[in-house]
Structure 1
Amino acid sequence: MDVTIVPNKLQGRVTPPPSKSQTHRVILAAALARGRSRLENVAISQDILATLSCIGALGAHWERKGERTLEVTGMGGIFQPGKELPHFDCGESGSTLRFLIPIALAVAGGGIFTGRGRLMERPQEPYIHLFREKGISWNREGDTLTVLGQLKAGDYELPGNVSSQFFTGLLYALPLVSGISRIVPTTHIEGRDYLAMTLDTLAGAGVTVTELHNTIKYFHITGKTAYKAMDYTVESDWSQAAFWYAANFLGGQITIQGLNPTSAQGDKAVASFYWKLARPGDVDLDMSQYPDLVPPLAAMAAVRKGTCRFNNAGRLRMKESDRLNSVTAALIALGADIREGEDSLTIRGRDSLMGGEMVDSQNDHRIAMMAAVSAQTCQKPVTILGAECVNKSYPNFWEHFQVLGGNIHGLVLR
């Protein structure tokens, strides 16, 4: 689906969708528990549907109760080797794939994982090196990955500068096996706030992990810990709210509702970044902990007084698109002054953008949303190719955009 947006300032009230990162985590905790969990404020995006499909392959059961309520009957986290390896369709969800690999090794002796888009091109080296040391086989052919072996307790060394998702996968899986385990970061951890969300969810399910601090340089995990069923309400998503922050920066008047200012979600930092960019002058932003904020912040930086440099953003190259490249291409099409570096972006702000061109979303939900809010400040209409990709994380985005006054041609709502 291609849409054309006629420039128009947005105004009104909006509640961002439930946190996708939090939803992945609570669904997995519920799936590993004994008994039934009730999860409130759950939105079924494509990524979340992938995780639900995978917990079904593990042996858990789930059922929707109304539009935003999910009941999950867990499989108890007990090792259940079968005659055939379970098959996990991870769609395009990197979280689903990286979280499920060690869990599948712990409860099923491995699994066959498939994915679409760029999913299987995204880095998996930390797992590959770890598991080969532990005698676990790893074989990828095209978009199919087969992992075979039983996860065992022990020491696991991981680089922290690739993705915190590898830590989360092991933090979920190692409590299920017998013995004491340690996860030892070998570099500075990027995405520590995502790990805080993981540990918070685990604690809610009765799983305690000794965290890193000044004297202990590793995560300490006690094995054979039973996950407990829980009732949980998912928070609204700061990552998605960031696009409405960008819309306001570009002249909109939107009241953003339902956000928890004390959330464990690291992307709540968009609020402080907003005010940094609102002040004129040159600014350097370290994005190592906030890669998902780069597209909406780049939209802001394109129309401010001063130059903004987004540094330590190399991880963006292995997202749904090469986001350093796709952000650059999209904003150049709109008329921005932007330069792409190896792990950075440099944007010199302008008074407005020209528009009048087509923006290829490159099947990346965050690029489509960035282009949509940027269209507010353009002088001519903007056409976005592949606009349906927002279904990956924010299925109601175009509906919300339209309710806020967005003038969209070509939109087909479900």
Structure 2
Amino acid sequence: MKTARILPRTLAGTVTPPPSKSQAHRLLIAAALSGGISTLSHVAFSQDIAATRDCLTAMGASFVEQGPGVVEIHGLGWSIPQAGPYPIFDCGESGSTLRFLIPLALTVHGGGAFTGRGRLMERPQTPYFRLFEEKGIFYRLEGGILTVKGQLTPGVYALPGDVSSQFITGLLYALPLLEGDSDIVLTSPLESGDYVTMTLRALERFGVAVEARENGWHVPGGQRYRACDGAVEGDWSNAGFWYAAQSLGCPVDIAGLDPDSAQGDKRIAGFARAMEEAGDLTLDVRQCPDLVPPLAAMAALRAGRKTSIVNAGRLRIKESDRLATVTEVLTALGAEIKEGPDDLVIAGKEKLPGGVTVSGHNDHRIAMMAAIAAIRCEQPVCITGADCVKKSYPDFWRHYQQLGGQVTLEETV
């Protein structure tokens, strides 16, 4: 484990955020499901993406790295599900890997055993469990291992829309492979809909058709994924921390982002503009909860103005309880922040005292938030568990240093 010691400095220069983790998951899965060979470029194997690669390998696909950021994927094709013991899928700490692949394990292998680390296996899977009970699929969560056995069958799959869209994505990947047609029906309004749009775009690129309906999607069965080459676009989620640096007065240029991306977190650009305006501000993050850590850092240093960040309750079931950890870390740095059940209210200051050691809470976004807030602290800031950024942004500390940040990383027990 490493501790980052940061001396407050203004950052300056050009930075290119890593490839989109959200899109990389989706493209790798679609390529692995094809019957041919796909080549993807601009792929960064952060811990989460490595987990998806390893689980797809356990499923039967293979990956050959052709050079930096370029990987050739040999799809598993669609013959009979492989015989033998059920695969073991180690999802690391990646909620996307776990939820995307549960339906596929049933479709391809008739089941599997899923494991993970950190809080992953504590994160709720209730929408799947309810469907499994309806469909007669066996599941057991015991000792941090989720075992599922059975076969998905064509039909109606009813899901609430106000839980993680990852459940919808998992079904969208699996249902086209069934022999008959299926329907995904939403029983409540959809949140994080942009992530579903990303999934639908990935499916389309790999030759899978899904029809939008008023309250969900119609998924024709009997489809096959076609191999496809492409590149992973830049990540707006992690770019949010450099937008936060800009808002703190740092002349940082952000390169490599697609303004036409389906990533919902591209809302950060509009939020950043709104932060520059005078007066109090309310930001609704229902569709982009991952932006809360950089937004909170920006709000904490929005001098003389109050910022309310609302509809953020789903952050309580992330790598950490992010409403609690954002509050704890920024309060320790000297910010004025009030935590509610699903919101944060932050009174901005010109500077923060700093001079403390805070925990990264084994949460990549919390560690990066603390690093950005340290820019406007009066005293040095130490962040324990700083290597947790490897989950999504392995080069974060290197980029921070390249922009002039004064950070040293020390091994700690």
- For the superposition of Structure 1 and Structure 2, which TM-score range results when normalised by the shorter chain? over 0.9
Number of residue equivalences: 409
Question: What's the secondary structure of 2:40's corresponding residue?
Answer: strand
Q: Which amino acid in the other structure matches residue 289 of structure 2?
A: P
Choose the corresponding residue for 1:294, options 292, 295, 298. 292
Counterpart position of 1:208: 209
- In structure 2, distance between residues paired with 1:261 and 1:106: 36
Aligned-residue Cα RMSD (Å) equals 0.9
- In structure 2, distance between residues paired with 1:121 and 1:72: 31
Q: Which segment drifts farther, 71-80 or 315-324?
A: 71-80
Counterpart position of 2:249: 251
Counterpart position of 2:224: 226
Counterpart position of 1:145: 146
Q: For residues 363-410 of structure 1, what are the alpha-carbon distances to aligned partners after superposition, in whole Å with 9 as ceiling and x for unaligned? A: 000000000011010000000010000000000000000000010123
In the alignment, structure 1 residue 65 sits paired with structure 2 residue 66: yes
- In structure 2, distance between residues paired with 1:223 and 1:259: 35
Counterpart position of 1:285: 283
- In structure 2, distance between residues paired with 1:369 and 1:290: 17
Give the Å deviation of 1:268. 0.4
Give the Å deviation of 1:146. 0.2
- In structure 2, distance between residues paired with 1:142 and 1:161: 28
- In structure 1, distance between residues paired with 2:155 and 2:118: 34
Q: For residues 60-88 of structure 1, what are the alpha-carbon distances to aligned partners after superposition, in whole Å with 9 as ceiling and x for unaligned? A: 00011111001100011444142211110
- In structure 2, distance between residues paired with 1:267 and 1:31: 26
Counterpart position of 2:52: 51
- In structure 2, distance between residues paired with 1:76 and 1:265: 29
Counterpart position of 1:275: 273
Q: Which amino acid in the other structure matches residue 198 of structure 1?
A: T
Counterpart position of 2:342: 343
Q: For residues 290-328 of structure 1, what are the alpha-carbon distances to aligned partners after superposition, in whole Å with 9 as ceiling and x for unaligned? A: 110000000000011311111110100000000000000
- In structure 2, distance between residues paired with 1:292 and 1:94: 13
Counterpart position of 2:98: 97
Q: Which amino acid in the other structure matches residue 172 of structure 1?
A: Y
- In structure 1, distance between residues paired with 2:361 and 2:78: 38
Counterpart position of 2:387: 388
Counterpart position of 1:315: 314
- In structure 2, distance between residues paired with 1:148 and 1:77: 19
Counterpart position of 1:74: 75
- In structure 2, distance between residues paired with 1:291 and 1:62: 32
Give the fraction of aligned pairs with identical amino acids, expressed as a percent.
56
Question: What's the secondary structure of 1:201's corresponding residue?
Answer: helix
Q: For residues 67-122 of structure 1, what are the alpha-carbon distances to aligned partners after superposition, in whole Å with 9 as ceiling and x for unaligned? A: 10011000114441422111100000000000000011111101000000000111
Q: For residues 187-231 of structure 1, what are the alpha-carbon distances to aligned partners after superposition, in whole Å with 9 as ceiling and x for unaligned? A: 11111000000000000000010013xxx3220001110100000
Structure 1: segments with no counterpart, 5+ residues: none
Counterpart position of 1:41: 42
Counterpart position of 1:262: 260
TM-score (norm 1): 0.98
Q: Which amino acid in the other structure matches residue 249 of structure 2?
A: G
Question: What's the secondary structure of 2:67's corresponding residue?
Answer: coil
- In structure 1, distance between residues paired with 2:229 and 2:257: 20
- In structure 2, distance between residues paired with 1:337 and 1:142: 40
- In structure 2, distance between residues paired with 1:163 and 1:217: 16
Is this contact kept in 2: 1:102–1:169, CA < 8 A?
yes
- In structure 1, distance between residues paired with 2:271 and 2:192: 17
In the alignment, structure 1 residue 370 sits paired with structure 2 residue 369: yes
Counterpart position of 1:180: 181
Counterpart position of 1:358: 357
Is this contact kept in 2: 1:5–1:407, CA < 8 A?
yes
- In structure 2, distance between residues paired with 1:73 and 1:346: 49
Alignment of 1:130-169 (within 5 A): 130-169=131-170
- In structure 1, distance between residues paired with 2:134 and 2:169: 19
Give the Å deviation of 1:41. 0.2
Q: Which amino acid in the other structure matches residue 270 of structure 2?
A: S
Q: Which amino acid in the other structure matches residue 384 of structure 2?
A: L
- In structure 2, distance between residues paired with 1:32 and 1:13: 37
Is this contact kept in 2: 1:206–1:227, CA < 8 A?
yes
TM-score (norm 2): 0.98
Q: Which amino acid in the other structure matches residue 119 of structure 1?
A: L
Mark the CA change 1:164 to 1:79 in structure 2 (over 3 Å): closer, same or farther. Answer: farther
Q: For residues 244-280 of structure 1, what are the alpha-carbon distances to aligned partners after superposition, in whole Å with 9 as ceiling and x for unaligned? A: 0001111111110011011011100000000111112
Q: Which amino acid in the other structure matches residue 267 of structure 1?
A: D
Is this contact kept in 2: 1:153–1:181, CA < 8 A?
yes
Mark the CA change 1:108 to 1:76 in structure 2 (over 3 Å): closer, same or farther. Answer: same
- In structure 2, distance between residues paired with 1:78 and 1:17: 36
Is this contact kept in 2: 1:78–1:176, CA < 8 A?
no
Choose the corresponding residue for 1:237, options 230, 235, 238. 235
- In structure 2, distance between residues paired with 1:279 and 1:57: 51
